[in-house]
Homo-oligomer: A and B are copies of this chain.
């Protein structure tokens, strides 16, 4: 499904030395984890690796993999898995298909009609277009629907709820509008889609429609497909509404593998399945519904690009929504291909991308999957020259990502103990297009990733991909981003929330992860529609696959350096710096909420809101909130002081690592890569124990969007002050455990002799 906002707010770094090119590595340029001679050899191998990469392969494989719809349970999903197995095998990988069995609902009945004040029946289908033959494969396509919507047959007045996030319901409440017993219509955007029906149901709505407004995703962005890249009047964004912020993966097997004989919940009891019916629709289906709404005007910022007066309702528009699904368990086929490590076979580098799509999925996921394939093929070419990775490399093509990260989550849950022991890092991609490098991940890998992005050339400008990213931040970033891009040595990678297959590795198993892609110059409206096709891709995304090659160069370097480094290139300074930044943010959040609550309460008490209301309209004052107490952040601050000390100590011994023996190194490396495990807390986050990571999580009310220090931050946001204090303690304890592991690593290095 990919995180659509990957390319927005990244940060890049300043290097005074000119960027090296892959063709002409500068041997004296140091490389984290490698001695000078080893670095030179590594640079040489990377040059060889680059020379093997062929755009024509990417093109051929995209054509092949996106030729037919290949969603979970479809014949072509399985064919694609088998095709990739045959490729990996032909390149010498130890390859197998890993199968899980997961709940995957498909539509049996979809009906949406306006029943008053006029009649209209929604089409709910995407029209084939000229010039894009795959759009006509309607026999094999899943029609537009939201996976894990509830079954339902409801008729009620309609209410327009903007993006359908909690703040929108506060606005409705001030206008005296309650959605209880109503059907809501929300725009796509502003949150992950699954948040919309969840919040609607929390407020008592009995049905939910989600549409793509042409202002955000349609003609207002550019010409409609097929003339241009953007949503035409029948295009619909499919997608899952599984309550993944509670737990992703098969809803019937929470926290454990969905093996053939696993114990399963009844789907009606599964907590992550939506309880109300949800249907995504096109803007041409939305137009008659929205036009029929009365009630007050929607707030100015809610109004979209349709040529109407956006009103809130409720009614007089009444809507009948009837949805029924086949609640079947389907196999998902993960492709797993292994190149065994020569020196440390029990230390694994896992590199993955999903292969299932909502329809043909040329961009999502094939544009990322083909980079994985080409990386694997190039490494196999390197292997023919005699190279063997020190560590084991595992390539993965995940199935069932679209409905809920099903394939990767079940694989992680099934093999959790082994993976926690062995996996050094998980490297994810999803979609890819022309433009700017976007990277999120564990900040212990930030310095490492900066070295990688320094060493790959941007195809359009010839500078490094990092340099181009930094230019973007300097030119159009907000002031704080500009300042960091100017003053901070390293590109600050983004924290990861959710939205792709890194989730279970990072958030559940505590495996350091990266998620990488290019984008920003290949926008369009094809996402999760029948028009995410090869034709669309080569017209609008990456016509010559130059950025597919760049992605393979970046990810290939990540894999190779992690596989061959003498000392694993984890670095703790950036992590400490970043967590300190997050701690400052949550403290400031509490301060701001205190000031703002006081201000607001005073305005309410002084009746200022009553005085400004237009008596001809309903506009109630906001509700008085209890005053925000001062929280004790000292445990967190003390933990950060300890962390800083541990980080300095490890940096102090890092110049003496060369003296370690191979077995000492193995133990040191294991300690290093397992530090991320210590960022988990066994209890997990409040009300969602599956999410154990204490630094990064998807937001309970954002879905994909990350919340850093999530236990603390969300407790503050939701005004749960006791919980906030508890979570401060928990994060502090977690960070202290993490610092202890760094100390353990430092202690493995022999002290300097007291000469």
Contacts and interface: CB of A to CB of B under 8 A. Distances in A.
B611 A308 contact: no
A608 to B, nearest CB: 4
Interface in A594-646: 599, 603, 606-612, 614-616
Contacts of A230: 309
A228 B310 CA distance: 13
Count identical subunits in the complex: 2
Contact of A214 (B307, B474, B603, B609): B307
A223 interface: yes
Nearest to A463: B611
A305 B303 CA distance: 10
A308 B611 CA distance: 40
Interface in A292-342: 297, 303, 305-310
Interface string A213-234: 0100001111110001010000
Contact of A611 (B310, B467, B612): B467
B309 A471 contact: no
A663 interface: no
A608 B471 contact: yes
Contacts of A607: 471
Interface residues of A, number: 44
Contact of A468 (B435, B436, B611): B611
Nearest to A609: B475
Given A307-B307, A608-B474, A297 B614 contact: no
Nearest to A283: B307
A219 B472 contact: no
A461 interface: yes
Contact of A219 (B307, B468, B471): B307
A608 B599 CA distance: 42
Given A474-B603, A521-B616, A616-B521, A219 B309 contact: yes
A616 B303 CA distance: 32
B611 A471 contact: yes
Contacts of A468: 611-612
A620 to B, nearest CB: 13
Interface of A: 214, 219-224, 228, 230, 297, 303, 305-310, 434-436, 460-461, 463, 467-468, 471-472, 474-476, 482, 521, 599, 603, 606-612, 614-616
Given A219-B309, A224-B309, A436-B612, 16 more contacts: A219-B307, A220-B303, A221-B309, A230-B309, A305-B305, A306-B307, A307-B307, A434-B614, A435-B614, A460-B614, A460-B615, A468-B612, A471-B611, A471-B612, A521-B614, A521-B616
